Structure 1
Amino acid sequence: MSKENTEIKHHKILGLTVNGPVFIPTVIILFSTIILALIFNEQAELYLGQLQSIVSEKGGWVYTISVNFFIVFCLYLAFSKFGSIRIGGADAEPEFKGIAWFAMLFSAGIGNGLVLFSIADPVRDFVNPPRLDPGTDPSIIGQEAINFAFLHHGIHGWAIYSIIGLALAYFTYNRKMPLTIRSAFYPILGDKIYGWQGHLIDIVAVVATLFGLATTLGFGVGQINAGIHHVFGVEQSLLIQYIIIIAITGVATISVVSGVNKGVKFLSELNIGTALVLFLLILLLGPTAYIFNGYFQNIGSYLTNFIDLSTWSGNLKDNTWHNNVTLMYWGWWASWSPFVGTFIARVSRGRTIKEFILTVLILPAAVTFLWFSAFSGTTIQGLIDGDMALVDAVNDNISTALFVFFEKFPLSIVLKILGMILICSFIITSADSGALVVDSITSGGKAKTKAYQRIIWASLSGIIAATLLTGGGLDTLQAAVTISGLPFAILLVVMAISLFIGVREDYKTDQKKAKIKQERTYQQELKNLVLEKNKKENHYE
């Protein structure tokens, strides 16, 4: 194939430098969705809900198989002979120090789910256990509620990020290919990635990413609005949430213009710092010993029931809960994975495959489990003791649960303000890093583009969130993310296979080169020995 057909072409459209076959269809799909949702806002929730049911019932098994396969595949790569391969080559050095690297990948990957669902999820599953009889011992119901929280926010989700992040990092830095989703499919598709097949892959990735970002933004602004209402008495309404979206998008725009090494890095470290302060306050003001004891017990229970939790689908009973909750989370993780994976790849040059996987797969999950043990564990303890205030809060408005939880502690006003800062910081980080990634994909993998291109994508995620909120609120957002994540989950399975093929090919090539080099070295040493021997013989003569 000729050179011109093995490169991603760039086009000038309205002053933007983009890959036209990806940019134009993506914009058409997104604006069609926005317009239809605005015109048929009353029907949006109904139609998306029906489509979500079809996806869940017909394709739920795809999610279940995929997320479990990713864990097995990641662990195999980490502890196989391929684990020592370094991203970027043998001499590559990390661009970011360990703490900054972890802060950026954790902040990009976790979003505001850490603070939103650590209270709401265990309350929901304690009051209405998905698979235990309500008359079961409350402590057993509480433990299962935490187990499911670990399932939905732990290793499975980070396995999805690990697959795409490693694949993109490997093909970008080791194969010197563009930092776009299509590059990870080169061992399977070959030069076809530069044709319509590659364009289609990138389009699916961008659409899934923007819907995932919009879902996070929609959940986040609702929680910020709830916090402002609790602290300052400001009403909870769509108008206030629109204003919050505009403000967050504005700050994200400033950050995205400054780039990865400034704005994104600063906000990521702010996330970690704020979360640490908030966690320590809960730890010190709350039941400290109970939290630490619960952490190890929760991990033990989660690992003991790991296979059961990971494969349960409610097939022998009403599986509505599984379809609406577990599959929604898998769709959310999958829809976030294009931008989180691309962002993690961007900052992970110089790490070995083993170091990358164990850090991305295990460390964020371990931190998340500690957070959930503090927030969820303390919540469950209160429910078992008969304190139902959080049940009323979750039933009334899921976004208020965190702030009602803070009212149980001294310095509650400080906790509420820190909570709002953390939510804002997480959302802004997600929006700006997401805009950077979407811009990179739609521009054909260009590392640097005009600032206003990134501004457009940061703004568009806010517009989608506002539109979906108008068209039905959180239920519409959940439906949209479940639907958009499924096709990309399938692509991720193919991507994992492609990554394995690519790594194995390169490993064999490197082994052959090493063997040839070793043989040449041996021959040279043998030649030197013969020359040395001849010199000595001539000397004695």
Structure 2
Amino acid sequence: MLNLENRKNLNKVFWISAVAIAILVVFGAVFPKLFAKGANAAFGFTTYAFGWFYLLSVLIFVLFLVALAISKYGKIRLGRDDERPEYPFFTWIGMLFSAGFGIGLVFWGIAEPMSHFFKTPYPSTEALTEEAARLSMAYSFFHWGVSQWSVFTIVGLIIAYFQFRKGENGLISTSLSPMFGKRKRAKGIKNTIDILAVIATVMGVATSLGLGILQINGGLNTVFGMDDSTLSQLLIVLVLLILYLTSSTTGLDKGIKWLSNLNLSLALLLMLFVFIAGPTVFILNTFTLGIGDYITNFIRYSLRLTPYQGGSWVQDWTIFYWAWAIAWSPFVGAFVARVSRGRTIREFIIGVLVIPPMIALLWIAVFGGTALHFDLFGGTSIAEAVNQDVTKALFTTYAELPFTMLLNVMSIILIFTFLITSADSATYILSSMTTEGSLNPPMLVKIVWGVLIAAIAAVLLLSSGLEGLQTASLVSALPFTVILLLMCFTLFKLLRKEILPKPKPKKNKQAQ
């Protein structure tokens, strides 16, 4: 049962955010064309007017985290000084991987490099050439590297610091409470921040669910001949809703923990098989060269805009990715914080900012590198097929490998489990965010958010498909970007007040 205080908060944050999402669902279902038109207009304005803001903000997050990790504050523990990590390292990484990347990496691991190979990021680079292949991998590495994960790391670090170090709740607004003090309007400001965080989370998660549903439909169409239609996608939404609500009844330490371990194990198994069965040496060379290009071009890619020559490539890719990550960040950050209790700030930043991106870059090198090799040296047309239907990139590549049917089935299972894990985690976090940061939110609240996430994903698919999904995440992320910058400022102020343990005095040899 909810206590009285939780009920008060539920009436403000839960109901306002739930009603806002429900209105979007109803409007999109009744007027899909008008919904799509409005979403596209918002997308165009946001990318044109605020693209620079997304790019600068994400670069600031990366620099802030690196400075924090190497500073004296890195040894501060997210919890009591004598606490130790709650979860084993492999389980922890599995949870980070499942929550942060999930279906996005499986969807774009081949689709993105092949898209850049077919339509290059720079007009001066000829498509379907060796130069285009190298550029496609460099940009894919950039999009799935530390920049995207810096957003998750920022939110997770700040929430974990307040929740486990300061003994506060896990709400986004709590991390900004030092700025508001005890003013009368503080409660209203905090509720507004939490409502914005909830709406951004729902849109980000719905985007990920929609991408996964499109890919599952594409895979089932390729493998079993299932209709590639909106009706099929809605049926998949319904099946997923039932599965992840069932999983949510088992709690964090059972369903999500078990599925996270399964996800990571199955993903690593698939990656290992493709690495061995595919062009192994080419993959290793691609990975090494890609890392070099990524490091060399990091600043240039981080601040790249095209005000002089025009074009929308940066808006469609880099800015979309950063906005998607920011929309995801309340959910991923809160979940990462929840499973990271007892780790030091330095360990947290290195673990969250480095290890999942390295797995992602290896994944892209294995799968994207294999697809590039087939097109460059095998005479296939995977890039063209991806340009025709981006949802079938993975399964088109599998057609060139041995044990195609087994790989297809395993990947469909992996996509399903990733989606269940992400949606299960999201319902838990959203429920916590709307019940005063409760670590054990009521099942009824979980069901409400589970249904609303599925509904908004269905509406976005129904109204405008992939474009609608991208637009939703981009627009909802804009106000939350400002909140993230303020959270960094608040954290820095509080860390400066921390009383750090003094280093032990060195023994004076001369005195001896």
Name the TM-score, length of structure 1 as normaliser: 0.90
Corresponding residue for residue 3 of structure 1: none
2:183 is the counterpart of 1:187: no
2:81 is the counterpart of 1:107: no
Corresponding residue for residue 120 of structure 1: 111
**Secondary structure of 1:178 counterpart:** coil
Corresponding residue for residue 135 of structure 2: 144
Corresponding residue for residue 6 of structure 2: 10
- Deviation digits for residues 29-80 of structure 1, max 9, x if unmatched? 1111112112221122221111111111111111000110001000111000
Rounded Cα–Cα distance in structure 2 between residues aligned with 1:311 and 1:156: 12
**Secondary structure of 1:180 counterpart:** coil
| Runs of 5+ consecutive residues of structure 1 not aligned to the other structure | 1-6, 13-17, 519-541
* 2:438 counterpart letter in structure 1: K
2:367 is the counterpart of 1:375: yes
Rounded Cα–Cα distance in structure 2 between residues aligned with 1:70 and 1:433: 24
Corresponding residue for residue 297 of structure 2: 305
Rounded Cα–Cα distance in structure 1 between residues aligned with 2:304 and 2:55: 9
- Deviation digits for residues 417-468 of structure 1, max 9, x if unmatched? 1111111111111100001000000111111122222122112111110011
Q: Is the 8 A contact 1:172 1:183 kept in 2?
A: no
**Secondary structure of 2:392 counterpart:** helix
Cα deviation, residue 264, structure 1: 0.4
**Secondary structure of 2:498 counterpart:** helix
* 1:243 counterpart letter in structure 2: L
Rounded Cα–Cα distance in structure 2 between residues aligned with 1:337 and 1:400: 27
Instruction: Select which of 114, 119, 122 maps to 1:131.
Output: 122
Corresponding residue for residue 202 of structure 1: 194
Q: Is the 8 A contact 2:117 2:133 kept in 1?
A: yes
Cα deviation, residue 386, structure 1: 6.7
**Secondary structure of 2:226 counterpart:** coil
Rounded Cα–Cα distance in structure 1 between residues aligned with 2:451 and 2:494: 36
Cα deviation, residue 381, structure 1: 2.2
Corresponding residue for residue 256 of structure 1: 248
2:352 is the counterpart of 1:360: yes
Cα deviation, residue 336, structure 1: 0.4
Corresponding residue for residue 453 of structure 1: 445
* 1:121 counterpart letter in structure 2: E
Rounded Cα–Cα distance in structure 2 between residues aligned with 1:285 and 1:385: 16
* 2:373 counterpart letter in structure 1: Q
Corresponding residue for residue 510 of structure 2: none
Q: What is the root-mean-square deviation in Å for CA atoms of aligned residues?
A: 1.9
Rounded Cα–Cα distance in structure 2 between residues aligned with 1:251 and 1:40: 29
Q: Is the 8 A contact 1:8 1:194 kept in 2?
A: no
* 1:11 counterpart letter in structure 2: R
Rounded Cα–Cα distance in structure 2 between residues aligned with 1:301 and 1:8: 56
* 1:420 counterpart letter in structure 2: I
* 2:297 counterpart letter in structure 1: N
Corresponding residue for residue 22 of structure 1: 13
Instruction: Select which of 72, 80, 83 maps to 2:74.
Output: 83
Q: What does residue range 211-290 of structure 1 map to in structure 2 within 5 Å?
A: 211-290=203-282
Q: Is the 8 A contact 2:118 2:128 kept in 1?
A: no
Corresponding residue for residue 399 of structure 2: 407
Rounded Cα–Cα distance in structure 1 between residues aligned with 2:324 and 2:352: 18
- Closer/same/farther in 2, CA of residues 493 and 413 from structure 1, 3 Å limit: same
Rounded Cα–Cα distance in structure 1 between residues aligned with 2:479 and 2:280: 43
Instruction: Select which of 300, 322, 325 maps to 2:314.
Output: 322
Cα deviation, residue 92, structure 1: 1.0
Q: Is the 8 A contact 1:62 1:490 kept in 2?
A: no
Corresponding residue for residue 475 of structure 1: 467
Cα deviation, residue 154, structure 1: 1.3
Q: Is the 8 A contact 2:22 2:452 kept in 1?
A: no
Q: Is the 8 A contact 2:118 2:127 kept in 1?
A: no
Rounded Cα–Cα distance in structure 2 between residues aligned with 1:156 and 1:309: 11
2:353 is the counterpart of 1:349: no
Q: Is the 8 A contact 1:225 1:236 kept in 2?
A: yes
Q: Is the 8 A contact 1:165 1:344 kept in 2?
A: yes
Corresponding residue for residue 535 of structure 1: none
| Runs of 5+ consecutive residues of structure 2 not aligned to the other structure | 506-512
Q: Which one has the largest radius of gyration?
A: 1
2:425 is the counterpart of 1:433: yes
Cα deviation, residue 402, structure 1: 0.8
- Closer/same/farther in 2, CA of residues 195 and 294 from structure 1, 3 Å limit: same
Cα deviation, residue 137, structure 1: 8.8
Name the TM-score, length of structure 2 as normaliser: 0.95
Cα deviation, residue 388, structure 1: 4.8
Rounded Cα–Cα distance in structure 2 between residues aligned with 1:117 and 1:146: 12
Rounded Cα–Cα distance in structure 1 between residues aligned with 2:251 and 2:379: 46
Cα deviation, residue 145, structure 1: 0.8
**Secondary structure of 1:473 counterpart:** helix
Q: Is the 8 A contact 2:162 2:168 kept in 1?
A: yes
Corresponding residue for residue 435 of structure 2: 443
* 2:5 counterpart letter in structure 1: K
